[in-house]
Amino acid sequence: MKLKLSFLFALLFINFTNAQESISVKGSAPFPATKTYTFICEKYAYTGEIDVQIAKTDKGGILKLTITTANNQAKIAGGVYVDLTNGDVIACTDKNVKESADGTTTSYYYFTPAEWQKLRKTDIYAVRFIIAGGPNNLGSQTGHFTAYNRMNYFSTAFDKSKKTFDTAKEISTL
């Protein structure tokens, strides 16, 4: 009986550790990360969504933003603001770490240790970002956008289910 219980515990532990996601920035070692959240961005008419993922590093953390664009010239550019539910704002400067492939563009931003502590205690409310592109982008939407921490576009007053992601809880477990 002890052998079966030990085997079951080991199997569950292996599955749990393999289920954790990771982020690797341009050939660096992988960092443990949260799952990918799909935030709602109503003003971005092309898809209306942006993928947000957060990883823990030795010196703080990494914010990974991925969005689908109409062409490869459109990029997430400039600074990003991460709004927290308690009203705090984390300003992330652009370090020009970007990737583009298969109609998506990805940008990485870095958190200081103090900012990481804020993220561990308070959920993310929204992420504000800029999409910039070349002068010949007839098909790409460019400008300033805000992506909100919401699971669905619509809900009713009678829907009592959770409507946002628990970002602080997942970040604190990293």
Confidence (pLDDT) at 71? 80
HSE-CB of 84 using CA atoms within 13 angstroms: 17
Going from N- to C-terminal start, the domains of the chain cover: 22-172
Confidence (pLDDT) at 140? 64
Q: Which helix (H) or strand (E) holds 54?
A: strand 49-57
Fold annotation for 22-172: Immunoglobulin-like (2.60.40)
pTM tops 0.85: no
HSE-CB of 53 using CA atoms within 13 angstroms: 20
Q: Closest Cα partner for 39 from 103, 97, 101, 82?
A: 82
CA–chain centroid gap for 123, Å, is 12
Residues with pLDDT less than 50, the chain:
1, 3-19, 137
